[in-house]
Amino acid sequence: MAYVITQACCNDASCIPVCPVNCIHPTPDEAPFMRTEMLHIDPEACIDCGACVEECPVEAIVAEDELTEEEEPYRELNADYFRVHPFDGAPPDFESPGPVEDLADLRVAIVGSGPSAFFAAMALDDLRGPVVQMYERLYTPFGLVRYGVAPDHQTTKAVTRQFASLHRSKTFTLNLGVEVGKHVSHEELLAHNHAVVYAVGASSDRRMEIAGEDLPGSHAATEFVGWYNGHPDHTHHTFDLSGTRAVIVGNGNVALDVARILLSDPEHLHTDSDIADHALEALRNSRIKEVVVVGRRGIAQAGYTNPEMIALCNLPDVDVIFDPSEVRTDDVVQHVLDDEETESSVDFKVRFAQEHAGTGTGRSKRLVMRFLASPMRIHGEGRVESVEIALNRLEVDDDGSVSATATGATDVIDTGLVFRSVGYRGVAVPGVPFDERRGVIANEHGRVIDPETREQLRGVYTTGWIKRGPSGAIGTNKKCADDVVKSLVEDFLAETLDSPASSQEDLDETIASRQPDRLDFEDWTRLDRAEREAGGSRGRPRIKFIDAGTMLDVVRSGRQALDI
């Protein structure tokens, strides 16, 4: 018997070092790691020891004889990886720690509190010495895990449990409700620390740049995701769910999350998710019966991961429709599959779509996957009424790459609701160089640079999506953060970083004068506990607090109870 990695895999690689036979891949030092959609266990090499099960932070590893019917595809998905990357039987080759350097004088500020920020803080904390201050503009930490991961993916959200160790650290401080550019400047952070690490994620979206994009009824998927996840910046949005069809442009995981939320039974969302109350109420009254997901290229280039599609195909009372003519293996698809650089996940994606192609079984709701189609314009008098799409064909370019070319044919999809999901992009931080074209902080391997001179800004670093763009899974940020921390420490030991000009106490006083309602890690534990208790009384994982006033009231009440 072997173990199998399933949908919840977060790619943080904590399972890899504990495997005695090195059968979990790709490892962080292997090329496919930064682009893999999940980790895999070689069924032929696994010795059934179970060490990885205990280590996994999201309970994604299951014994193969305990797989449910819905999880069965993961048996094949794990094995497929090793057809492309055969297991060589080599023993684990983990880098042994070098001599411990004295880092007690190192002071680092981290801006942001998502996974990349916490992974960076944990990497610094593991060095036993650096003093770390983390700054987050919201009153809640964990960034995209709290406000981006779908509310019904509770096992994925469990990745944040490992960050709780920092609550016990004497050299780590979490500062919630502190915004860089408002309560503290970049220059002030740099003056009080050896280094500042920006891990602020990618909170904005890319536009389609087509006519009608700003009509009422046309929205960014990021707005909808923030709305149903209770993000304070998005709770004011409203969405007209009175029509029967919605169209989503783009076919990455965010697009599929939006589709799944629109088509899910609200009772399932009530019991098995932490979706915001206002969103749950709106979805109870929704009339949406069909969601059409439109992708510019073909099935082999689809942006979603296999685990997301497997989950969608297991939604009760929802037909997932693939047009057989759009997912067939033609010469171009075969060219992609034959390329030695093509990962096994692409081959699985094509086969899975072909196996599920057809017109459905007559269930009450439908998810229609459209490929080889690009939005041309959104039509409507005063609001969205339809989307006009151009039909494409794929061509192999001279360099072997594949591109979509318009055939000249068009189609019109009637709808009153359109979501664009064509990519996230970062937002500039005041005082920090920004690459507008890529939507990231200007950097080379995590060291922030002046985009004109290409010179490094001493003591300024970046990690996560704001460093490399929106790519990879949650755990991908761990390697990204580890690499940046390694560079930061190298620079500190080489004495190329400026020493702080003033004490942390001075900076704390300055921030307190501008933001007297700053919260810390202990305050967050009070909020977390109160949300879970509120959810438990209603049979839900948690009830999210969505406004600052309520959060502050809960914290003050908790502090007062402690003082009694």
What per-residue confidence (pLDDT) applies to 88? 77
* Mean pLDDT in residue range 161-171: 93
Q: What is the pLDDT of residues 291-332, one digit of tens each?
A: 999 999 999 999 999 999 999 999 999 999 999 999 999 999
Q: What is the pLDDT of residues 218-247, one digit of tens each?
A: 999 999 999 999 999 999 999 999 999 999
* Mean pLDDT in residue range 139-149: 96
Give every CB contact of residue 382 below 8 A, 6+ residues apart in sequence: 215, 216
Cα–Cα distance, 423 to 251 (Å, whole number)? 10
252 is in an annotated binding site: yes
253 is in an annotated binding site: yes
Cα–Cα distance, 316 to 179 (Å, whole number)? 43
Residues 431, 510: one domain?
Answer: yes
144 is in an annotated binding site: yes
Evaluate whether residue 78 is within a structural domain. yes
Structural tokens at position 90 = 């080599």
Evaluate whether residue 295 is within a structural domain. yes
Using pLDDT thresholds of 50, 70 and 90, give the confidence band for residue 95.
low
Domain at 396, CATH number: 3.50.50.60
- Least confident range from 11-15, 349-353, 457-461: namely 11-15
**Pairing of the two strands 402-414 and 386-396:** antiparallel
Structural domains counted in the chain:
4
* Mean pLDDT in residue range 80-98: 73
Q: What is the pLDDT of residues 459-495, one digit of tens each?
A: 999 999 999 999 988 999 999 999 999 999 999 999 9
Residues 299, 394: one domain?
Answer: yes
Residues 176, 218: one domain?
Answer: no
What per-residue confidence (pLDDT) applies to 359? 81
Q: What is the pLDDT of residues 18-32, one digit of tens each?
A: 999 999 999 999 989
Evaluate whether residue 95 is within a structural domain. no
296 is in an annotated binding site: yes
What per-residue confidence (pLDDT) applies to 334? 97
Contact call for residues 549 and 557 (beta carbons, < 8 A) = no
**212, 309, 341, 465 from 84: Cα distances, Å:** 44, 22, 9, 28
Out of 421, 441, 473, a domain closes at 421
* Mean pLDDT in residue range 494-517: 96
DSSP letter at 380 equals -
Domain at 477, CATH number: 3.40.50.720
Closest CA relative to residue 166, chosen from 524, 532, 562: 524
What per-residue confidence (pLDDT) applies to 512? 97
Using pLDDT thresholds of 50, 70 and 90, give the confidence band for residue 283.
very high
Residues 380, 473: one domain?
Answer: no
396 is in an annotated binding site: no
* Omega before 470 within 30 of 0, i.e. cis: no
Query: pLDDT at residue 99 above 80?
Result: no
* Mean pLDDT in residue range 91-107: 69
- Edge to edge, the sheet with strand 365-370 lists 218-220, 418-420, 245-249, 290-294, 365-370, 318-322
**Pairing of the two strands 418-420 and 245-249:** parallel
> What range does the domain containing 564 cover?
519-564
Using pLDDT thresholds of 50, 70 and 90, give the confidence band for residue 61.
very high
Residues 416, 439: one domain?
Answer: no
215 is in an annotated binding site: no
Query: pLDDT at residue 93 above 90?
Result: no
What per-residue confidence (pLDDT) applies to 151? 96
Closest CA relative to residue 438, chosen from 449, 429, 427, 430: 427
DSSP letter at 119 equals H
**2, 37, 53, 77, 529 from 40: Cα distances, Å:** 11, 10, 13, 8, 34
Cα–Cα distance, 72 to 341 (Å, whole number)? 26
What per-residue confidence (pLDDT) applies to 560? 83
What per-residue confidence (pLDDT) applies to 564? 52
Out of 84, 119, 154, a domain closes at 84
What per-residue confidence (pLDDT) applies to 107? 98
Evaluate whether residue 99 is within a structural domain. no
Ramachandran bin of 145, using left for φ above 0, alpha for ψ from -120 to 50, beta for the remaining angles: alpha
Residues 450, 553: one domain?
Answer: no
61 is in an annotated binding site: no
Residues 176, 220: one domain?
Answer: no
Residues 297, 276: one domain?
Answer: yes
79 is in an annotated binding site: no
Residues 273, 369: one domain?
Answer: yes
Cross-strand pairs, 211: 377
By CB neighbour count within 10 A (0-12 exposed, 13-18 middle, 19+ buried), where does 295 fall? buried
Closest CA relative to residue 500, chosen from 40, 133, 21, 247: 133
Query: pLDDT at residue 17 above 90?
Result: yes
What per-residue confidence (pLDDT) applies to 563? 64
- The whole-angstrom distance between residue 328's C-alpha and the CA centroid of its chain comes to 30
Closest CA relative to residue 426, chosen from 198, 178, 256, 240: 198
Query: pLDDT at residue 91 above 80?
Result: no
What per-residue confidence (pLDDT) applies to 94? 53
CA contacts within 13 A on the Cβ side of 116:
29
Cα–Cα distance, 564 to 550 (Å, whole number)? 21
What per-residue confidence (pLDDT) applies to 150? 95
Q: What are φ and ψ of residue 25, in 5° steps?
A: -145, 160
Using pLDDT thresholds of 50, 70 and 90, give the confidence band for residue 87.
confident
Residues 389, 537: one domain?
Answer: no
Cα–Cα distance, 63 to 85 (Å, whole number)? 22
116 is in an annotated binding site: yes
The pTM (predicted TM-score) of the whole model is 0.93
Residues 471, 383: one domain?
Answer: no
Residues 238, 332: one domain?
Answer: yes
**Average pLDDT score, the chain:** 95
What per-residue confidence (pLDDT) applies to 119? 97
Q: What is the pLDDT of residues 396-429, one digit of tens each?
A: 999 999 999 999 999 999 999 999 999 999 999 9
526 is in an annotated binding site: no
Closest CA relative to residue 39, chosen from 354, 486, 344: 344
* Mean pLDDT in residue range 182-207: 96
Domain at 23, CATH number: 3.30.70.20
